[in-house]
Structure 1
Amino acid sequence: METANQQMYDAALRHQTYVLRYAAGIRNKINELLDQTEDEIAGKLLNKNGDSSRVVTSSDWERLTRLQKVIKEIRSDAWSSAGTLLSEEALSFVEQESKFYTLLITSVSPVIIDTVVPSPETLKSIVTSRPYEGKLLKDWVKDYADKDITRINKIIGTGLTAGTDTKEIARQVFGTVKAKGTDGITQHTRDSVNMMVRTAIQHINGNARREVGLMNAEIIELEEYVAMLDGRTTMQCKGLDGQTFKPGEGPYPPIHIGCRSARVMYISQDIGVRPAKPVTERLLVKEYAEKNDLGSIKKRDDLPYGTKGDYDEWARKRIRELVGPVPAKLNYNDWLKTQSADFQLDTLGKTRAELFSKGNLTLDRFIDVDGTTLTLKEIAQRDAAAFERAGLDVSKFLN
């Protein structure tokens, strides 16, 4: 039977997987808003500068300035919508996170406990008033927006000044269809949005956990820093992995931009003095009765005279065992192996899940040395034998 703290660990890591996926969903929505401006900006560039003439005269410079102003307005509107979207998602997310962690504590605990949920004002302040690296969420959005617009207008200004063909300038800004836009300067923005959103969601998540832990410090004894150990893990997170802290103490993720780590809360083993849950009491009474040959007994009140004190002392010790110590440390790769095939499939996708479970590929083999996720073709080129072990036709992935 899994201890309560093992359940806390498993649930927290599964939840962290979904938190990162949630962040990716917001990232996609924001990038869609920004991508929608590309045709309009390209149209302005081509229509206003179709002759591709070099910017030389004062009227040329005025025309360029007007163009850059229009582009700034178009892109700024998209960034404004992105900021509103992120803020609304963040306010909803912080409320859901606090509920999740308080419900998790009560659900795995073998005894009756009353958890405290942080106040709405506290939760709102996490989003609106708590800076990360000196900047609030709205300031992060503004900073990324300014850099994005500056990059775009710089390429356009440089290109037109040099007399570069406007179609070529558009390709430099937005990339090519063949490369799905990844070879344009706006790909840098997409990558930046990914880091910004993940960091923001992690900041909210970490602060929500912190508040829940602090407000339930009589129940939560320790919190463990858990890094997602794979080829993308930073030395900072590797160094903290497995370290334990009291609620409110020590670092909370994110400790760097794009951080994926988490802190897992653990229930104190000294909660046995509290009343057991009805379902726990039934199990304990049954176990105690069988252990002492007392027959079929389901309630404490039905225990024979003179045994209740002994039962209570035994039950407190048994509850400590049910809560359990801090679980033995597993890295993320080994932990994922202990999870169901459905969860592995949901986390990795069909082919990677088969390579992981049947092909004996570790998670670091899915990632390049620079931290980018490899395509299935790239994995096949490097680890063809793993496809064979998994019963997959490697030739289908090499074409």
Structure 2
Amino acid sequence: MSPPAGEAVLARRAAVRFGIQAAGVAALLVVVLTGVAVVVLVGAQKAQVTDQLDGAIARADDVDDPPAGMWLITRDPAGRTDATSGLPGAVADTAALDAAAAGGDPPAVERNVDDVQYEIATERRADGTTVQAVLDLTANHSGRNRLLTTMLATGLAGLLLAGAAGTWLGYRALRPLSASLALQRRFVADAGHELRTPLTLLGTRAQLLRRRLYRDPGADATVLGEVEGIVADSGRLAAILEDLLLAADPLADRPREPVDLAALAAEVVAAAEADADGHEIVLRVDAPAPVVVVGSAAALRRALTALADNAVRHARATVTVAVRAPGVLEVHDDGEGVDPALAPRLFARFATGGRPSDPGRRRYGLGLALVAEIAAAHGGRVELVPGGAGARFRLTLPAGAPRNL
């Protein structure tokens, strides 16, 4: 089964990134190896040139037959100087000849004359003759440049091959994962689509019932309030369903809008009161002032609802939902609390906190994991606050706009 277009696009993008990373690693290796090779090559050439000059000086009987690419200059003890025919002008190092003839040991030097580089070595031999050897480095540099050019071309070809191979291997490795993610997203999309129609009908019927009750002068105010709650809950369910459908599309952007956390907390607590009453739990809201963040109202409502539901199921008598600036939500219950050792895996899927739960309701360990995912999508985090009685979960959201919704 081939993944849908959205999954295929993401897989291709990931494969390209993998290929670029592979090419980057290969480039780093090529640069390091090339640098080492250049250092070794230059050192070997330098040693070879030194051996050539020293050998020519040691074997020189006269200046008429120097090695290929080399010229000789000699000065006998009487001060007479002789040079190989064809010696380029201004190449001879007269100062080095004088220093060596006087008993000094001048170092070898490089000299550039008419865009040609020469290596010059001067030495006074035991017989009193001072010999200077001049080597044209053109042949050495040409060989080195050819080798460097070959290495560069080979390295570039290797980079292209590494990038292409990395992209191909990355795409092959990601295809099973992409297909698995596509199957999961398809299930969410299909389930959401199937739920949309009955949810719409439920909302419509609740609105019709509310309309009839308003027209009835003898309608019970309590019943009317419950119907208002059903209408509000159906609207929230529809928003949650739309958020799930957006989450099923990997290329879709969730809406970014100002969300008042204080108002959101009041809505979630109002919606959870019926369940809390069934457990004989008192829900409280501590939100003294509006706290506005930017994000998806539906997603944040899902996160806070999951935290409140978790607290109601584990509280003894009271659950408090507190809003603090900037962008901090806390849900605190007065239950038995959570073992701090279990905190690292609380927000993993299918993990439980090791607390007594409602025996009539099966737990799947998904609520806190979804809260963590929603918090991460908003650039925030959720954590278990250690210490104190009961369990305290803190959802922290950034003051600015979310990075990735």
More strand by share: 2
Q: Which has the larger radius of gyration?
A: 2
More helix by share: 1
With the shorter chain as reference, the TM-score category is under 0.3
- For CA contacts below 8 A with separation 6 or more, give which structure has more relative contact order: 1
